[in-house]
Amino acid sequence: MSVAVQKYLEENKINGTNVYAIPMKKFKSLDITQWKYNRPPNLERIPEIHSWMKQFNRMDGVLSLAYIPGDGLVCFEGNHRRLALEGLEISVLVDILWDATHEIITHEFKRLNKSICVPEIYLVESETSLRGEIEKSVSDFRKKFSKMESNSGRPQRPNYNRDKFTDEIMRLHKELNITIPELMTKIYNANEIYKTKDRSKLNEKITSKCENSGLWLFAWSTTINSSDL
């Protein structure tokens, strides 16, 4: 149970709340893992976040943690900041849900992210194996077409966004009822077929980007039509 951890952190508790201001030395002593339903962190962001926190000697916001009986402390919101704390000596604000279930954490996660686009596989209790296959497929796709990836939540053709592409795979997987490897084969085959499509409605900029990158999937539309697979 969480009693021992609560007692350990009692002196750091902000009165009347479940928010704790924890010195770095004590924070490092806590065994905190990433919540299993979170998407993998983007490791490229961590050095930039670390540099900012080091420059201003503080961490913005609060880390959202939960204590799950049998699992211990997990971080379900703020993992990039948590990982970027390595090597710093600053106090850390954390908000802890004690003795929580995955259902309670999911509800709080959705509340915190209600205005942010989060891929469906991280908002529903997908099978771990399915989520892993999708994450691997998206990672491979991003490596292959890295020049066409956009950080915007509304990427312009012919670019794509990691999270929206993740949702595309989840949607197509449901519509076609096929395995993720089979789906990715169809997606790559469709990309080859798109190269031969009529380009008369594409402007020169889009055509040039597609020719240079080899990615044609999103030249005509920001979504993939299942009938083309």
DSSP result, the chain: --HHHHHHHGGGBPTTSSEEEE-HHHHHHS-EEE-TTSPPP-GGGHHHHHHHHHHHTS--S-EEEEEETTTEEEEEE-HHHHHHTTT----EEEEEETT--HHHHHHHHHHHTTTS---GGGTTT--HHHHHHHHHHHHHHHHHTGGGEE-SSSPPTT-EEHHHHHHHHHHHHHHHT--HHHHHHHHHHHHHHHTTS--TTS-HHHHHHHHHH---TTSS-SS--GGG-
Domain borders along the chain are: 3-116, 121-228
Number of CB atoms found within 10 A of residue 78's CB: 21
Q: Is the pLDDT of residue 122 over 70?
A: no
pLDDT band per the 50, 70, 90 thresholds, residue 49: very high
Q: CA–CA separation, 45 vs 88, rounded Å? A: 16
- Mean of the per-residue pLDDT values of the chain: 91
**82-115 per-position pLDDT tens digit:** 999 999 999 999 999 999 999 899 889 888 877 5
Alpha carbon 74 to chain centroid, angstroms: 16
Phi and psi of 226, rounded to 5°? Answer: -60, -25
**Which fold, 3-116?**
3.90.1530
pLDDT band per the 50, 70, 90 thresholds, residue 26: very high
pLDDT band per the 50, 70, 90 thresholds, residue 37: confident
**pLDDT at res. 90:** 95
